[in-house]
Amino acid sequence: MSINLTRIDERLIHGQVAYSWSVAYPCDEIVVIDDQAAQDDMQKMLLEMAVPEGKGFKLFTVTEGSEYFAKDNGLKSFLVIKDPAVILALVKAGIHFDSINIGGMYFKEGKKEITKTVYLDERDVAVFKELADVGVKLDVRTAPGDKSLELSTVI
């Protein structure tokens, strides 16, 4: 398994993810793990259309993603998810992450502003603390060139 970059972004694949991040962290494929999107053919088609030419695309449920990353396929993957709980589920399934990038978790009722693009509720904070406790670095950046903020220092 070779995950080059893991990013939490509620928009999943969009211009900044598809181009800025996949250039800064070269990859062979963009992998989305999202139970809801994996069951929606229209969402799958839209995500696939956003993937840059020459890059592969996969969309998995959490269970399928755990199985996929448990094996080494020789590809450099850029993993994109919406919810930090997905990362925690993968960690509990034995998938290792040195760090994850948190970029787009937007305002909703009950969420508190951490940065202009990261809003967290109590559940999110608990998940991130659990990830930090197992040694995962929590890198908050909107774009690859932005200054990094270690999330565990502010939650």
Q: Which domain holds residue 120?
A: 3-153
- Type of residue numbered 66: S
Give me the catalytic one of 2, 14, 40, 112.
Answer: 14
Phi then psi for residue 112, to 5 deg, are -105, 140
Query: Residue 72: which CATH number?
Result: 3.40.35.10
DSSP 111: -
What tens-digit pLDDT sequence spans the chain (155 residues)? Answer: 689 999 999 999 988 788 899 889 999 999 999 999 999 999 999 999 999 999 999 999 999 999 999 998 899 999 999 999 999 999 999 999 999 999 999 999 999 999 999 999 999 999 999 999 999 999 999 999 999 999 999 99
The tally of domains found in the chain comes to 1
**pTM exceeds 0.85, yes or no:** yes
For residue 96, indicate whether it is catalytic.
no
CB-CB contact of 136 with 91 (8 Å): yes
